[in-house]
Amino acid sequence: MPLDARHPAIELEDVSFSYRPRQPVLTGVDLAVEEGEFVAVAGPNGGGKTTLVRLALGLARPQSGTARLYGEPARSFSRRDALGYVPQRAQLGTQGPVTVREVVSAGRLARGSLLGPLRRGDRAIVDEAIADVGLTALADAPLGNLSGGQQQRAFIAKAFAGEPSLLVLDEPTAGVDAESQDALARLLDRLRRDRRVTTLYVSHEFGAVEDIVERLVLVRGGIVFDGPPRTLPAEWHDPSHAHARD
Ligand SMILES: Nc1ncnc2c1ncn2[C@@H]1O[C@H](COP(=O)(O)OP(=O)(O)O)[C@@H](O)[C@H]1O
Ligand SMILES: [Mg+2]
């Protein structure tokens, strides 16, 4: 069943959230991300980016306000298989030696309708996702043998393998070299053009995607800027300002 295109992919209305009483992390957040948009979410460490993403995906409950995905309450969204989420510092648990291909295949299985072994078409999609992140040569290597950046790319491939309508990447470039960051940015741009994948790219710095995104959302206890990156006030470029709460 296609997703309901009459509604924004993500919709937060006057959302406030705190982990502890009287210590608000986010206040009065309004955000609508339309289908097919590529949005960078930036801001200082501790500003609330990860929290905002978790609220948007229905993984945390706002103290006040509403969060919707494609028009449905985010907490009870019926099409989880349409979401690709790479959490910050995605890490393998203690499941023992798992190969890159197995991790990425799990992203294909998670699509829901599939039971049993992957079909040939699914295997091709898994291979393509592995190639997209440049890990073909390491496809059958245990994930534990890979560098942090390579592991991160494997988790990104896992999300790709589910062919999501909405892709949310939280700090996908932590530990990833500049060349791979650029490659990822180009890949995300292509996915948006070819498949209209709605993308939320969360990073405390957005240099790698600055030329690609049409919209930048700055999060610091709330949304303090929302617009094209080129219209970002100079004060927000100031590193001392951006990292004031580090
Ligand atoms: N599980 C948690 N319990 C308590 N406080 C938290 C938790 N997660 C995050 N915080 C606090 O909430 C604030 C926002 O964190 P976070 O959303 O992770 O910001 P960002 O992703 O921008 O670095 C920070 O002050 C952080 O310490
Ligand atoms: Mg974070």
* Residue 112 confidence (pLDDT): 55
User: Does residue 115 form part of some domain?
Assistant: no
Residue 244 has pLDDT above 50, yes or no: no
Residue 175 included in any domain: yes
* DSSP letter for each residue of 140-204: TSBGGGS-HHHHHHHHHHHHHHT--SEEEEESTTTT--HHHHHHHHHHHHHHHHHH--EEEEE-S
Residue 115: band (very low, low, confident or very high) from pLDDT cuts 50, 70, 90? low
Q: Is any ligand 1 atom within 6 A of the Cβ of residue 25?
A: yes
Task: Give how many domains the chain has, as a whole number.
Answer: 1
Confidence of residue 245 (pLDDT cuts 50, 70, 90): very low
Residue 221 covered by a domain: yes
For residue 232, being part of any structural domain is answered with yes
> Is any atom of ligand 1 closer than 6 Å to the C-beta of 203?
no
Q: Give me the pLDDT at residue 95, please.
A: 56
Query: Cα–Cα distance between 221 and 234 in angstroms, integer?
Result: 20
We report the CATH number of the domain holding residue 232 as 3.40.50.300
Cα 35 to the center of its chain, rounded Å: 14
Residue 73 lies in a domain: yes
Is 19 near ligand 1, meaning CB less than 6 Å away? Answer: yes
Q: Once rounded to an integer, what is the mean pLDDT over residues 199-207?
A: 88
| C-alpha distances in Å from residue 33, one per residue of 3, 7, 29, 218, 236 | 14, 9, 13, 14, 22
pLDDT tier at 208, thresholds 50, 70, 90: confident
Q: Which pTM does this prediction carry?
A: 0.90
**pLDDT above 90 coverage of the chain, percent:** 60
Going 172 to 176 to 181 to 187, the CA torsion angle's sign is: negative
Strands 10-20 and 64-69: antiparallel
Tell me the residue length of the chain. Answer: 246
Name which of 34-38, 41-45, 228-232 the model is least confident about. Answer: 228-232
Count Cα neighbours of 235 within 13 Å in the Cβ-side half-sphere: 3
Average pLDDT over residues 3-13: 88
Q: 173 is in which domain, residue-wise?
A: 10-91+165-242
Higher pLDDT, 94 or 107: 107
How far away, in angstroms, is 34 Cα from ligand 2 center? 22
Which residues is 83 bridged to in the sheet? 166
Tokens of 153: 């790319």
37 within domain boundaries: yes
pLDDT digits (tens, 9 = 90+) for 45-78: 999 999 999 999 999 999 999 999 999 999 999 9
User: Is residue 82, in this structure, part of any structural domain at all?
Assistant: yes
Q: Grade residue 224 by pLDDT with cuts at 50, 70 and 90.
A: very high
Whether 151 is covered by a domain: the verdict is no
Ligand 1: atom nearest CA of 43 is 22
- Among 12, 51, 243, say which to mutate for ligand 1: greatest number of ligand atoms within 8 Å of CB: 51
Report pLDDT for 4. Answer: 67
